[in-house]
Each structure stands twice: as structure tokens, then as C-alpha cells.
Structure 1
Amino acid sequence: MQELYSIGDTAKIMGISVQTLRNYTNMNLVIPQHIDLETGYRYYSFKQFHYIDRIKYLRSLGMSLAEIAEILRAGKPEKLLIHLEAQKKKLVWELKEMVERYEDIEWYIDYFRYLGRYRIENVPYILQFEARHLMYVDHLRQDTIESVETRLAKLKNKANIPYRRQYGYVIDFPDFLNGKFTPQKYFTYLKEKPEDDINGKYLNLPAGLYLCLWVTDRSAIKAELVKKFFAEHPSPSFAVANEYEDSLIEYHHCPYEIQALIT
């Protein structure tokens, strides 16, 4: 059996860089078996491969060199278990964040592709929706886009509730059937139903079938077919008008999909 291995040979065998092995040594994680006093060259024994492999493995689990040093100084599995449990909790949190980020990305992909799938001007259609949750501010008669957006921004920041970045209006549906776009509330979608009351500025949209119609010019609404449909069905008191950004520069003239629940 070869007794000693140079730092270069040891690094190559263990699949790490020479600089990494030097760092291990400088932190006293691995003490060379022999140091040549004349050249300063470091040599390692076969038995130390096991310790180097353990350091690599703990690094692969996300532990820092400082944490590994603490574990090795203790020399007992108890300290290792404490750090493994802490790393496990950290990973559970990171996985949760990754899943939420993945779901957000999927939602936004669907949002920006929605126009291409469903936008047909002046032709109503029916879609099934799951229950949805809104956070809103009342739209007052004297409100401007600036004033209502500012109030909603303040409410969002105060409530600190995860939301989907899609805005819209709750509108008076009887007015819509008569060609008028009358906002009652300005809202953004929430990711889920809030646990707290958020000062009453919360609205649940029930799951069900919704009659939908695209509106590009709010001053020239053509709702004759929708009006004809609801002449034979119970008419809701309100509908939602969802904004869909077809431009990332100018959003004040974006199209809206009107959605009215069919009861």
C-alpha cells in the first residue's frame, strides 16, 4: 500500500481541486499526514481519504465549511444530527418557496397566453372557473385611474397577502347590458382565500360557468348577444372585467374579458 500521496494526487483521486484541499487543510478539517519541512509540500495518507469524502458529502448536503468544522470538532454524531435536522428544515422551506415560484410562473405563462386562446371580439362564450378570491377598493364616482390604483396599492402593501398580478373591475352588469361600463370596485386577484378579514375588502367569486365577452373599447360596448342570452336566464347584479396586458409599455388601453356568472 502506498503510504503517502501528494496534494495533487490526493485532490485528483478525491475529485476536488488542489485549492479546495488547501482550504480544507487551512481550516484544520484535514491535517496532512506529513509536511516536508524543506519544500513545504503536503502529503496525505490513504486513511484521510475517508475524512475528505465525508467533508465532500456534507458539502453536497448544503452545509458550510464552518458548520462542518464544528461537527468534526465535536467528533460525535449528535452534533451532526443537529445540523442535519436544521438543514432539513431549511430545505423544506426552500422547496415550498420553489413550488410557489413554479406555480406563479405557470400562472403568468397562462395569463399572457390567454389572449391568444380566447380573444374573439364581440362573440360571447362560456367557460368554467374554479372559485377565485379578490382584494378590492371601492370605485367612487370621482375616482380616476390614478386615485383608484393608488388606494389598491396601499391596501395590498398593508394587507401583505400574496396576490396574482392581474387587475380588473367589478362592474354593474345591468348597465353593461345597456352598453355602459360602470366600475363598482377595482381589484387584484389573491393566490388563495385570506385568513384575515383584510378590513372587509375581500370578495369571493364562486366556482361555476361564466358567460364571457371581450371588450376593447369601454365606450363602445356591444352586448346584444349577451343581453339576449340573459333575457332567458337569471341575470347577475355584477360581473368582473379582467384586464389582460397586451403591451408591457402602455396598459391603460388593454382589453378586458367580461365574465358574468350563469346561475
Structure 2
Amino acid sequence: MEKSGLFQIGDVAKMFHISVGTLRHYEKSGLLQPEYTDNKTGYRYYSTRQFECLNTIRYLRVLDMPLEQIADFINNRDVERMQIMLRQQKEMVISKQKELEIIERKIENRLRQIEDALSSQLDTICIRQFESRRIAWIENTLSINSYLDLETSIRQLEQHQQNTVVFLGKVGVGIAREKLLNGEYNKYDKVFLLLDKEDAYSGPVEEIPEETCVTLRFCGGHKEAFVYYKRMMDFITEQKFRISGFSKEITMIDYGITDDTEKFVTEIQIPISHSEA
């Protein structure tokens, strides 16, 4: 065959700023067959009449359109079909933009939480006001000797979620009011997810009203928390406060971020009200 007016695959790849491998992939996918293939050398050649088709493929790929959909259009080209495809792709782009906006806000949340943890005043009892918060939780009595002891409960909370717990709110554990009053600080009653505003959680969610809490942050994880609960309960007794709910114990920096245990930060929150006496 006369090869004048034909371009080798490498030259076409350079002209359209794509790789030779991409052109071969288009061929295998049935999108664009070479005008001529030399049986002796295996060299592939393309003609100028294929350039418009290749340009259309490249345009649709930039729009992130699946190859199967592009192949269907290439084989059944039509103005109305193109309009439908572009409208569908526009809807997908808008949806992805919304998803990316949520991810951006969640990254900002995590950065703020880490910065907050790094600037923590440790071993100091404080009284803080918290706005209303949403939590998803399960009742589960457990002792925690390592972060692995939480895994089963986390998987239960994660079940049926489109977004994994990695992108959902912070995991925490809690001790019921009755156990706090009885000095039982080594067994937890519930595992929960403290949800961010952006989180869409499939399952029961409880909204905790605005509350005042006695709080304390310390260097360490759940297994070191016992002694800090005792200090906080002594403070609550001395100040004649009344415990009004379950504790919320959240690791702000843990194995999910660093292996350096000296950088771990955990916060305990115990909700309180003024004694009526």
C-alpha cells in the first residue's frame, strides 16, 4: 500500500499529545483502528481523515467519559446523541464538584483538629461549652488495651456506609453516667462516631444538645485514661457539679496519624450541670 499521506503511530501520538500506548488501547477497545498495518513490521499508520475522530475521542476523554460510551457514539454519531451525552456528563461533573467540596471541607476539619491537638494544654482541667453535635453510636461493653480492641465496633458503625469511617467523623468511646458515679473508669459502654456537619450517615443518629463539659487533654491513648477520669471526678465533686450524661473520650492524635506515642493526644469530656443543692 502507498504510504504517502499516512502517519506512523509515534508521529500521531506526538501530534495529539497522547502516548503510543493510548492509541494501541483505543485500537483494542474498537474506538480507532489504524488506516493501515504493515504485516511484515507490524507498524501502524493513520490517515488525516481519522484525525477528526481522534480529536473527538480526546475531547470526550477530557470530559472523563467512559470508553464504552465513546465507542458507542463513534459508531452511531448523531447530534442529539452528542447533546444527551454532554448533558449526562455535565450532571456527573456537577455531582463530582459537590463531592469534592465536601472532601475539601473534611480535610479542613481534620487539619483544624490536628492543629488544635498540637496546641493542646495538657493535664489541665477546663470547663468548655459545646454546640449541639450529632453522633452515631452502638452500645458495647469493652476494655481497651490497644487500638485494635476498637476495630470490631468501628466495623459495625461503618457497615452499609457509602463513605468509610476514614472520611466520617472522629471515633470515640464513652462511659455511662452511673459508672462514672461508681468510679468504674476501666470499662466503656459505647463506641460512637462524632459526625461532622457534612457527614451523611446511613443509620440511627442522635443529636446531643448544647452542653457544658469538664474536659482534660493528656498525652496518651484510651488505656492511659483511667487516672485522668479520677482527677476529673475529684474536680467535679469539689466544685459540686452534677454529671449530666455519658463521657466522651476521643483520641485527637493516635496511630491513625503517627507511630510516635509521645505525640498522642486524647481528650475526655464529661458533661456537667450545676448542682441543684
Normalised to the residue count of structure 2, the TM-score between the two structures is: 0.63
Q: Does 1:164 align with 2:169?
A: yes
Which residue of 2 is the match for residue 118 of structure 1? 120
Contact 2:244 2:273 survives alignment (8 Å): no
Partners of 1:151 and 1:6 lie apart in 2 by 60
* Identical aligned residues as a percent: 17
Can you list the C-alpha shifts for 1:85-132, whole angstroms capped at 9, x where unaligned? 443454455445544544444444444444333342143242443423
- Are 1:111 and 1:244, in contact at CA under 8 Å, matched by a contact in 2? no
For 1:44, the equivalent position in structure 2 comes to 47
Structure having the higher Rg: 1
Instruction: Write the distance in 2 (CA, Å) between the matches of 1:114 and 1:245.
Output: 9
Q: Helix, strand or coil: the match of 2:192?
A: strand
Q: Quote the offset at 1:181 in angstroms.
A: 3.6
- Deviation, structure 1 residue 135: 1.0
1:244 aligned residue: 251
* Distance (whole Å) between structure 1 residues aligned to residue 210 and residue 113 of structure 2: 19
> Where does residue 205 of structure 1 map in the other structure?
208
Change (3 A) 1:54 1:117: same
Q: How far apart, in 2, do the equivalents of 1:103 and 1:261 lie?
A: 31
For the 8 Å contact 2:175–2:190, the answer to whether it is kept is yes
TM-score by length of 1: 0.65
Cα 1:222–1:124 shift into 2, 3 Å: same
Unaligned 5+ residue runs, structure 1? none
Once residues 23 and 151 of structure 1 are traced to their aligned partners in structure 2, the CA distance between those partners, rounded to angstroms, is: 43
Distance change (3 Å), C-alpha of 1:57 and 1:243 = same
**Matched residue type, 1:156:** L
Measure how far apart 1:229 and its partner are.
4.4
CA distance in 2, matches of 1:243, 1:206: 18
Runs of 4+ in 1 over 6 A off after TM superposition: 34-41
Does residue 1:222 correspond to 2:227, yes or no? no
* CA deviation after TM superposition for structure 1 residue 144, in Å: 4.5
Match of 2:32 in 1: 29
Provide the secondary structure at the position in 1 that maps to 2:18.
Answer: coil
2:34–2:46 Cα contact (<8 Å) kept: no
How many Å apart are 1:55 and its aligned residue? 1.5
SS of the equivalent of 1:166 reads strand
State the Cα deviation string for residues 170-218 of structure 1 (Å, max 9, x = none): 4428955x9764867312125358675x4xxx54321354342346552
- 8 Å contact kept, 1:180–1:219: no
Displacement of 1:52 in angstroms is 2.3
Match of 2:16, as an amino acid? M
Output the CA distance in 1 between the equivalents of 2:38 and 2:244: 89
Check conservation: 2:133, 2:209, Cα contact below 8 A: yes
1:71 match: 73
Structure 1 position 168, deviation (Å):
1.6
Distance 2:119 2:186 in 1: 27
- Number of the residue aligned with 2:221: none
Cα deviation for residue 28 of structure 1 reads: 5.8
Q: Secondary structure at the match of 1:222?
A: helix
CA RMSD after TM alignment: 4.5
Label 1:108 to 1:230 Cα distance change in 2 as closer, same or farther (>3 A).
farther
- What is the aligned counterpart of 2:59 among 53, 57, 65? 57
CA distance 1:56–1:218, shift in 2 (3 Å): same
The match for 1:186 is 190
Contact 2:57 2:70 (8 Å CA) reproduced: yes
Separation in structure 2 between the aligned mates of residue 214 and residue 25 of structure 1, nearest angstrom: 61
What is the Cα deviation at residue 259 of structure 1?
A: 3.5
The residue type paired with residue 189 of structure 1 is: L
Measure how far apart 1:133 and its partner are.
Answer: 1.8
Contact 1:131/1:204, CA 8 A, preserved across alignment: yes
Could you list the per-position Cα deviations for residues 50-70 of structure 1 after superposition, in whole angstroms to 9, with x for gaps in the alignment? 332212111111224432221
- What is the CA–CA distance in structure 1 between the aligned matches of 2:38 and 2:266, rounded to whole Å? 77
